[in-house]
Structure 1
């Protein structure tokens, strides 16, 4: 049986074993169950460097192999039904909602063309990133990234050194800018669903966010000015000048507003109706949200003139790459997250102990760094929930006496998603779009060299000032 066909048939096994829980028991797993996830990470990091042609042609098959490296041993040891339900839960409750939302934002933003030839001076690039940081908490990091990455590419298409522009774009727009509202980044939305008030985050993370975004903009301006001056006479600009800057496809601002409204609706409307699909409980509001998001995507495709998407050089390639890679990431991180959720009873008990002081009180600095480091490689939304629950899981307590701890979890989960390409979905999408336009982006480890040199010192300062 082919690997892909087996992945599709495993959820059906769950239908035959309703007694099996969809959630994996992390207390029963050893650390070796994390090897497939490590294999996915190493494949993404090393194969494009060591085997570039093989990776480009077969990366989808590689991640399926790693997914099966978890699913098949799990099926052998826990039963096909348990493995099938674990897969069904991951695909139905986590991966599909994620990919539907990201695809809708990708499609809608791809139908908005910023007309006019912006010239990528240090001042203009910095200004665009500042605007993107403001938009990220309103329309999400994915929406803001997909809206602004294409005009930023065109603005810098005559620059010889442009990769650093998109590295900082990922830092600022794809991550840090989304830290002020539940609309900005999925971890904060999950907090909102757990009872954290909508404006709590902006009230408690504004100083840290302003510091981080302001420092990154300043550092970027200095670096970009250096390269801009060093280049001297740049290449002839391939984008023709136009009389004025404007928006084509602005009608897509309506579908964009609809996306924001649907995300909010799914957090506020609680009809109390749920359905069991392959052993996974799906609430009505989630089904309505995802179904209407697909409608919004179709409407955007229908109302956008073909010329607008052609001008944007819109293609499905970057979205397909994200969809294929992240299905492997979501499946292989199931045992890792389960072991973290098990706390003291799991293989990663040291993490649970590290975030608590000898007196039993939570250590905000430890929550900031552990939630952040894990969010750099795991999906930051479930990682946020793991540490939210480790800190007690009571939203009222966390917003009150433990406010510094909740701020640490929120900041770590959002800010440190910028530490690697896979820390947040728009990171990889920006990389894929930039590379499709001929920009030579840093490798997986090359990007982490940038994040280590620029972000880690800023995170240390945030720790010393706020996370104590």
Structure 2
């Protein structure tokens, strides 16, 4: 119960504004806000980056309290300066407009994909490993990077558990399945879903990121095949063979097949919310909740509960399914979405806001956006500050108008989307599934690189590919 106390405190702060006189939040001009209001947001992100390195045990037990503390450090002063109604309006908007749809979709994909268990074992040859990575890359845009990663990482580890050199297999799995593969739909990666929630059409990214995605994934798959072949044919022969803990099996089986049907229902619901526009909205403390989004989120929750009810226990047991990864994501992102509110207000003010310097970095002398600058600025921050909130920052920096960005600003929106999705692979904290894959691999005995050693892999493998991508597409 103690680990939920901090979030109860946030609820108490918000509850101060429940009186009728605070029902509507004032709309603030971001140009009037100081850059200091961005400190809690920076604090959350720096905590995510630093605490797991310097105090992992403390972070593991208290990450929810830390995120809640930063949220309170924003809400309490904000309410004191601008009024409780304004603070509560910002809180409700962050929760209902972005956080709730985001975490509901992510939790549903995690739950449904976690109910599909691939039984049996194949031999981890370069061809098989490359085929699994290619399959996961394709599935990532259909069932999400989280879903595809949770579905395939354990079969991949079993296939290679008799090999000495496995680290590169997991690293490239993170590059491809947990990141680049999710670039073709809002289901694929959290940043794109946030764009969808802010008005970007469902298939917009499919058409505008297809070529960069194909180029990056083709280069990475070819590089992986060459590297895995080297380890498989040269390095593995240098040591005596040992007993395979999971002998190869010519037959594979799948438990929990009903979840494939549920995944189809998830896709249908997200599509429905983008295509069905009844024009009915509910005003909740100044935040407008569209009927189609409410129906989608309630139906997604029902699908997650249905998956828990109908999935055989053996399927989740075979996947070592537990709630710890999604619990961490849920608590941390609650803090992120609350504290990012003033940052977005300031960015929307453009040159008149406190972050005008950032605006100038991604624009030329005439004020026109520089797509390459947007690609790298979004990407580099996504590498260390998590790609979902980073996408929101630069989406709003570019104007925040989805219709304009999809048309006259299409190349800029493509650069922002590509930077967030592709470069989320640069570090363990760039995208939620990265840490999940790392944790599962380590639980299976793989000695994964440290935070900075993984950065070394990114610099050597990914940065040259991204430089070529910039030259070709941005």
| Fold match by TM threshold 0.5 | yes
2:464 paired residue among 454, 457, 464: 457
Range with bigger deviation, 302-311 or 185-194 = 185-194
Range with bigger deviation, 192-201 or 43-52 = 192-201
Other-structure match for 1:7? 10
CA contact (8 A) 1:49 1:443 kept: no
Matches of 1:204 and 1:439 in 2, distance apart? Answer: 37
Deviations 1:16-48 (A, max 9, x none): 312423x66533333333333333333333333
> 1:379 and 1:292, CA in 2 relative to 1: closer, same or farther beyond 3 A?
farther
Other-structure match for 1:262? 269
| Residues 215-226 of structure 1 aligned to structure 2 (within 5 Å) | 215-226=219-230
- The Cα shift of 1:233 comes to 4.1
Range with bigger deviation, 419-428 or 380-389 = 380-389
| Residues 169-184 of structure 1 aligned to structure 2 (within 5 Å) | 169-184=173-188
Range with bigger deviation, 43-52 or 247-256 = 43-52
- The Cα shift of 1:361 comes to 3.0
- The Cα shift of 1:188 comes to 3.8
Other-structure match for 1:45? 49
Matches of 2:400 and 2:43 in 1, distance apart? Answer: 32
Matches of 1:195 and 1:4 in 2, distance apart? Answer: 30
Matches of 2:42 and 2:399 in 1, distance apart? Answer: 29
Matches of 1:195 and 1:95 in 2, distance apart? Answer: 16
Matches of 1:395 and 1:65 in 2, distance apart? Answer: 33
- The Cα shift of 1:372 comes to 2.5
1:369 paired residue among 373, 376, 383: 376
CA contact (8 A) 1:160 1:234 kept: no
2:304 paired residue among 281, 294, 297: 297
Instruction: Provide the secondary structure at the position in 1 that maps to 2:289.
Output: strand
Range with bigger deviation, 232-241 or 311-320 = 232-241
| Residues 46-195 of structure 1 aligned to structure 2 (within 5 Å) | 46-189=50-193, 191=195
CA contact (8 A) 1:44 1:444 kept: no
Whether 1:212 aligns to 2:243 is no
Matches of 2:130 and 2:146 in 1, distance apart? Answer: 19
Unmatched 5+ stretches in structure 1: none
- The Cα shift of 1:288 comes to 0.9
> 1:230 and 1:369, CA in 2 relative to 1: closer, same or farther beyond 3 A?
same
Matches of 2:365 and 2:48 in 1, distance apart? Answer: 39
Matches of 1:278 and 1:258 in 2, distance apart? Answer: 31
Matches of 1:322 and 1:158 in 2, distance apart? Answer: 32
> 1:245 and 1:11, CA in 2 relative to 1: closer, same or farther beyond 3 A?
same
> 1:398 and 1:101, CA in 2 relative to 1: closer, same or farther beyond 3 A?
closer
Matches of 1:456 and 1:97 in 2, distance apart? Answer: 32
Matches of 1:458 and 1:204 in 2, distance apart? Answer: 18
CA contact (8 A) 1:319 1:429 kept: no
Range with bigger deviation, 187-196 or 96-105 = 187-196
Matches of 2:383 and 2:28 in 1, distance apart? Answer: 22
CA contact (8 A) 2:395 2:416 kept: yes
Across the two proteins, how many residue pairs are aligned to each other? 466
Range with bigger deviation, 436-445 or 172-181 = 436-445
- The Cα shift of 1:111 comes to 1.0
Whether 1:427 aligns to 2:434 is yes
Whether 1:238 aligns to 2:245 is yes
Deviations 1:205-240 (A, max 9, x none): 322111111111222233334444434446533224
Deviations 1:101-128 (A, max 9, x none): 1111111111111121123333322211
Instruction: Provide the secondary structure at the position in 1 that maps to 2:184.
Output: coil
Matches of 1:276 and 1:378 in 2, distance apart? Answer: 32
- The Cα shift of 1:131 comes to 0.8
CA contact (8 A) 2:126 2:228 kept: yes
Whether 1:308 aligns to 2:315 is yes
Instruction: Provide the secondary structure at the position in 2 that maps to 1:14.
Output: coil
- The Cα shift of 1:281 comes to 2.1
Other-structure match for 2:279? 272
Whether 1:356 aligns to 2:381 is no
Unmatched 5+ stretches in structure 2: none
- The Cα shift of 1:55 comes to 2.3
Instruction: Provide the secondary structure at the position in 2 that maps to 1:77.
Output: helix
> 1:359 and 1:325, CA in 2 relative to 1: closer, same or farther beyond 3 A?
closer
Instruction: Provide the secondary structure at the position in 2 that maps to 1:376.
Output: helix
Matches of 1:94 and 1:9 in 2, distance apart? Answer: 21
- The Cα shift of 1:187 comes to 4.0
Instruction: Provide the secondary structure at the position in 2 that maps to 1:281.
Output: strand
> 1:163 and 1:249, CA in 2 relative to 1: closer, same or farther beyond 3 A?
same
CA contact (8 A) 2:118 2:253 kept: yes
